[in-house]
Amino acid sequence: MKLTPKITKAINTAATLHDGQERKGDGLPYIVHPFSVALILMDYSEDEDVILAGILHDTVEDTGYTKEQLKDEFGERVASLVTDLTELPKTYSWQERKDHYLKHLESTSHESKLICAADKLHNLQSMLEAFRNFGNGALEKFNAPADKKLWFYEECLKIFKKDEKMPKELISQIEVLLESIRSEI
Protein backbone atom coordinates (compact mmCIF):
# COMPACT_ATOMS: atom_id res chain seq x y z
CA MET A 1 0.00 0.00 0.00
CA LYS A 2 1.33 3.40 -0.96
CA LEU A 3 0.87 6.64 0.91
CA THR A 4 -2.40 8.07 -0.40
CA PRO A 5 -4.10 11.42 0.26
CA LYS A 6 -6.61 9.65 2.54
CA ILE A 7 -3.83 7.94 4.51
CA THR A 8 -2.05 11.29 4.83
CA LYS A 9 -5.28 12.83 6.10
CA ALA A 10 -5.71 9.99 8.63
CA ILE A 11 -2.11 10.43 9.84
CA ASN A 12 -2.65 14.17 10.29
CA THR A 13 -5.99 13.62 12.05
CA ALA A 14 -4.62 10.97 14.41
CA ALA A 15 -1.49 13.02 15.18
CA THR A 16 -3.60 16.04 16.04
CA LEU A 17 -6.12 14.09 18.14
CA HIS A 18 -3.48 12.14 20.08
CA ASP A 19 -1.22 15.19 20.56
CA GLY A 20 0.11 15.28 24.12
CA GLN A 21 -0.89 11.68 24.92
CA GLU A 22 1.77 9.16 25.97
CA ARG A 23 2.03 5.38 25.87
CA LYS A 24 1.60 3.89 29.34
CA GLY A 25 4.57 1.54 29.47
CA ASP A 26 7.33 3.66 27.98
CA GLY A 27 6.16 7.27 27.87
CA LEU A 28 6.64 7.56 24.12
CA PRO A 29 4.26 9.86 22.23
CA TYR A 30 1.03 7.94 21.75
CA ILE A 31 1.04 8.44 17.98
CA VAL A 32 3.79 5.82 17.58
CA HIS A 33 1.11 3.20 18.30
CA PRO A 34 -1.43 3.96 15.52
CA PHE A 35 1.43 4.46 13.06
CA SER A 36 2.92 1.10 14.05
CA VAL A 37 -0.46 -0.60 13.72
CA ALA A 38 -0.82 0.83 10.20
CA LEU A 39 2.66 -0.36 9.23
CA ILE A 40 1.88 -3.86 10.49
CA LEU A 41 -1.39 -3.85 8.55
CA MET A 42 0.40 -2.82 5.35
CA ASP A 43 2.17 -6.19 5.45
CA TYR A 44 -1.16 -8.00 5.35
CA SER A 45 -3.63 -5.80 3.47
CA GLU A 46 -3.89 -3.54 0.47
CA ASP A 47 -7.31 -2.31 1.64
CA GLU A 48 -7.03 1.44 2.17
CA ASP A 49 -9.99 1.50 4.59
CA VAL A 50 -8.28 -1.11 6.78
CA ILE A 51 -5.11 1.00 6.90
CA LEU A 52 -7.14 4.13 7.66
CA ALA A 53 -8.99 2.35 10.47
CA GLY A 54 -5.66 1.10 11.84
CA ILE A 55 -4.37 4.66 12.04
CA LEU A 56 -7.62 5.92 13.57
CA HIS A 57 -8.53 2.89 15.72
CA ASP A 58 -8.16 4.64 19.09
CA THR A 59 -9.49 8.07 18.19
CA VAL A 60 -13.12 7.53 19.26
CA GLU A 61 -12.09 5.65 22.41
CA ASP A 62 -9.28 7.93 23.60
CA THR A 63 -10.05 11.42 22.27
CA GLY A 64 -13.08 13.67 21.83
CA TYR A 65 -13.49 12.52 18.23
CA THR A 66 -16.92 11.03 17.56
CA LYS A 67 -18.09 8.25 15.29
CA GLU A 68 -20.09 10.85 13.37
CA GLN A 69 -16.99 12.97 12.74
CA LEU A 70 -15.10 9.86 11.69
CA LYS A 71 -17.90 8.86 9.31
CA ASP A 72 -18.10 12.37 7.81
CA GLU A 73 -14.33 12.56 7.22
CA PHE A 74 -13.46 8.97 6.29
CA GLY A 75 -16.70 7.21 5.36
CA GLU A 76 -19.07 4.67 6.85
CA ARG A 77 -16.81 1.63 6.43
CA VAL A 78 -13.85 3.19 8.26
CA ALA A 79 -16.17 4.41 11.00
CA SER A 80 -17.64 0.92 11.31
CA LEU A 81 -14.21 -0.73 11.52
CA VAL A 82 -13.08 1.71 14.21
CA THR A 83 -16.34 1.27 16.13
CA ASP A 84 -15.81 -2.51 16.08
CA LEU A 85 -12.58 -1.91 18.01
CA THR A 86 -13.83 0.76 20.41
CA GLU A 87 -14.23 -0.30 24.01
CA LEU A 88 -17.00 0.74 26.35
CA PRO A 89 -16.36 4.03 28.19
CA LYS A 90 -13.95 4.05 31.13
CA THR A 91 -16.94 4.40 33.48
CA TYR A 92 -17.16 0.59 33.18
CA SER A 93 -14.66 -1.57 35.02
CA TRP A 94 -11.60 -2.90 33.19
CA GLN A 95 -13.07 -6.43 33.27
CA GLU A 96 -16.48 -5.30 31.96
CA ARG A 97 -14.83 -3.42 29.09
CA LYS A 98 -12.67 -6.39 28.14
CA ASP A 99 -15.49 -8.94 28.41
CA HIS A 100 -17.71 -6.78 26.19
CA TYR A 101 -14.86 -6.24 23.72
CA LEU A 102 -14.15 -9.97 23.43
CA LYS A 103 -17.81 -10.85 22.97
CA HIS A 104 -18.16 -8.24 20.23
CA LEU A 105 -14.86 -9.23 18.57
CA GLU A 106 -16.19 -12.76 18.05
CA SER A 107 -18.80 -11.47 15.59
CA THR A 108 -16.81 -8.79 13.77
CA SER A 109 -15.51 -8.97 10.22
CA HIS A 110 -12.15 -10.42 9.26
CA GLU A 111 -10.95 -6.87 8.58
CA SER A 112 -11.82 -5.75 12.11
CA LYS A 113 -10.09 -8.80 13.55
CA LEU A 114 -7.02 -8.09 11.39
CA ILE A 115 -6.82 -4.53 12.72
CA CYS A 116 -7.27 -5.85 16.24
CA ALA A 117 -4.49 -8.39 15.73
CA ALA A 118 -2.12 -5.66 14.50
CA ASP A 119 -3.08 -3.54 17.51
CA LYS A 120 -2.48 -6.39 19.95
CA LEU A 121 0.82 -7.30 18.26
CA HIS A 122 2.15 -3.78 18.68
CA ASN A 123 0.85 -3.56 22.26
CA LEU A 124 2.66 -6.78 23.12
CA GLN A 125 5.86 -5.61 21.41
CA SER A 126 5.67 -2.40 23.43
CA MET A 127 4.89 -4.23 26.67
CA LEU A 128 7.87 -6.54 26.26
CA GLU A 129 10.21 -3.68 25.39
CA ALA A 130 8.96 -1.59 28.34
CA PHE A 131 9.43 -4.52 30.69
CA ARG A 132 12.97 -5.12 29.43
CA ASN A 133 13.85 -1.41 29.64
CA PHE A 134 12.12 -0.46 32.89
CA GLY A 135 11.50 -3.75 34.73
CA ASN A 136 8.33 -4.47 36.66
CA GLY A 137 7.80 -0.74 37.20
CA ALA A 138 6.66 -0.39 33.59
CA LEU A 139 3.87 -2.88 34.13
CA GLU A 140 2.53 -0.93 37.11
CA LYS A 141 1.47 1.89 34.76
CA PHE A 142 -1.17 -0.28 33.10
CA ASN A 143 -4.85 -0.34 34.12
CA ALA A 144 -4.70 -3.99 35.13
CA PRO A 145 -2.14 -6.44 36.52
CA ALA A 146 0.10 -8.18 33.99
CA ASP A 147 -1.66 -11.54 34.38
CA LYS A 148 -5.04 -9.96 33.54
CA LYS A 149 -3.59 -8.14 30.54
CA LEU A 150 -2.04 -11.36 29.27
CA TRP A 151 -5.36 -13.19 29.81
CA PHE A 152 -7.02 -10.59 27.58
CA TYR A 153 -4.42 -10.96 24.82
CA GLU A 154 -4.70 -14.75 24.98
CA GLU A 155 -8.48 -14.51 24.61
CA CYS A 156 -8.04 -12.25 21.59
CA LEU A 157 -5.57 -14.76 20.16
CA LYS A 158 -8.16 -17.54 20.47
CA ILE A 159 -10.58 -15.43 18.42
CA PHE A 160 -7.91 -14.68 15.79
CA LYS A 161 -7.16 -18.38 15.43
CA LYS A 162 -10.82 -19.07 14.55
CA ASP A 163 -10.59 -16.65 11.61
CA GLU A 164 -9.50 -18.77 8.64
CA LYS A 165 -8.24 -15.69 6.78
CA MET A 166 -6.01 -14.49 9.61
CA PRO A 167 -2.37 -14.59 8.48
CA LYS A 168 -0.56 -17.42 10.26
CA GLU A 169 2.58 -15.27 10.59
CA LEU A 170 0.62 -12.65 12.54
CA ILE A 171 -0.78 -15.30 14.88
CA SER A 172 2.68 -16.77 15.34
CA GLN A 173 4.19 -13.39 16.21
CA ILE A 174 1.53 -12.82 18.88
CA GLU A 175 2.12 -16.30 20.31
CA VAL A 176 5.89 -15.73 20.51
CA LEU A 177 5.44 -12.38 22.23
CA LEU A 178 2.98 -13.77 24.76
CA GLU A 179 5.42 -16.55 25.61
CA SER A 180 8.32 -14.11 25.87
CA ILE A 181 6.40 -11.83 28.19
CA ARG A 182 5.25 -14.74 30.36
CA SER A 183 8.86 -15.91 30.72
CA GLU A 184 10.07 -12.41 31.65
CA ILE A 185 7.45 -11.69 34.32
Catalytic sites, residue numbers: 61-62
User: What are the DSSP calls for the chain, one per residue?
Assistant: ----HHHHHHHHHHHHHTTT-B-TTT--BTTHHHHHHHHHHHTT---HHHHHHHHHTTHHHHSS--HHHHHHHH-HHHHHHHHHTPPPPTTS-HHHHHHHHHHHHHTS-HHHHHHHHHHHHHHHHHHHHHHHHHTHHHHTTSSS-HHHHHHHHHHHHHHHHH-TTS-HHHHHHHHHHHHHHHHH-
